[in-house]
Amino acid sequence: MTQRMKKYIDLPGMVDAHVHSRDLKQRSKMTVMQTMKEARKSGVATVCLMPNTDPSIDNEETLNEYLRLMEDAERKTGVTAYVWVALTDTNHAEVIKMLRYKKVCGVKVYPLKPTGESVTTGAVGIQQWSSIMKLLFMMREEANIDKPIAGHFEDPLLGHTEESEVSALKTLVSIAKRYPEQRFTACHITSAGGLAIIEEAWASGLKIMAELTPHHLWWNRETIKLSQHAAALFHCFPPIKEPKDQQALIQFLVKHQKNPLVSIGSDTAPHHRSEKAGDNPPGGVPALQHSIPVLLTIAQEYGIEDGHICYLIHDNVIEHLGIESVPDTMNTKWVLQPSTDAIVYNKGEVSSPWIGEKFAYTRA
């Protein structure tokens, strides 16, 4: 379905709740400063930075080091930054202390395999789902803290499959039913089966945010095969799935465009081009600067209303995370003008699979 779109669209500054900014021991991949400079020029006004850094943001010392980087970048770019902190099987008391920081927006959970290896990039996470229950008890029953918990929901025993996503999301739902007032985010949902679990959870009144990413909305395994770019550039966790899953994501977005529990998060995950060209390329796609062009192009083709785009990139995330709204001074205007992508990440040091893709709107 194609809708008649306005020549210009005014948008609030995007709130991107899923940004990997690296830095610390991974400055060659990306820095907080460079991330926020790129956010500013692409219409993203607030970033929520992920904790699977090196070292991981799972303790106060590392948190404070990262907060100093954020404060400096905020002052120089005008972009606002928050940070998620990481849960492990043993750092619950430390997480409670970190959650009292104003700039900490919530807790991020990464599952670990029995070997201790993460299902995604980084080395931090939990091997026992019961660790989430322990944290929830401490947050809600002892510390009176009401902040969201976000998660990378793949079952470590089932690989990077649709079955894996479904299994882990079912576990999330069972936990959420124990604490129905708790806000959760199911990050980067990729499959038709995963979306069905989310809809069932909503029918039970659970507060689970369904986050969709630009790269999973834009590509599928078949389109990747036709791409001129090396397969390593599309390698990410969770992986891009089948055409049926891509269509399910798009139709879910159209169907639920007014739902306050749906959002767009870039899951931007930059890696240095030398790493992506290596024998064992890391998983991750840079996407911070592409969320709005992708969403506007899909909106034009499938019929998402202008006002609902604002919900997806700003209103819903602000409400769910309980953070400050973006000032009007960060609004951007986008013109209905086809463009061929040539966006650069980290001054060209990060390889991008987006080069050459065609979008319907360009920032005015």
Burial of 58 (0-12, 13-18, 19+ CB in 10 A): buried
**pLDDT of amino acid 5:** 58
**pLDDT of amino acid 209:** 98
Specify whether the CB–CB gap between 118 and 154 falls below 8 A: no
Kindly report, residue by residue over 102-153, the tens digit of the pLDDT: 999 999 999 999 999 999 999 999 999 999 999 999 999 999 999 999 999 9
Specify whether the CB–CB gap between 199 and 249 falls below 8 A: no
Q: Which parts of the chain sit beneath pLDDT 50? A: 1-2
**pLDDT of amino acid 2:** 45
Kindly report, residue by residue over 144-189, the tens digit of the pLDDT: 999 999 999 999 999 999 999 999 999 999 999 999 999 999 999 9
Task: Report the C-alpha gap between 261 and 251 in whole angstroms.
Answer: 15
Could you tell me which residues come within 8 angstroms of residue 106 by beta carbon, excluding any fewer than 6 positions away?
Answer: 84, 85, 99, 147, 148, 149, 150, 183, 185, 321
Task: Specify which residues 210 forms β-bridges with.
Answer: 186, 262
Q: Is the four-CA dihedral 244, 246, 250, 256 of positive or negative sign?
A: positive
Nearest to 95 by CA among 54, 53, 63, 118: 63
Task: Report the C-alpha gap between 243 and 128 in whole angstroms.
Answer: 33
**pLDDT of amino acid 1:** 42
**pLDDT of amino acid 28:** 95
pTM of the model: 0.97
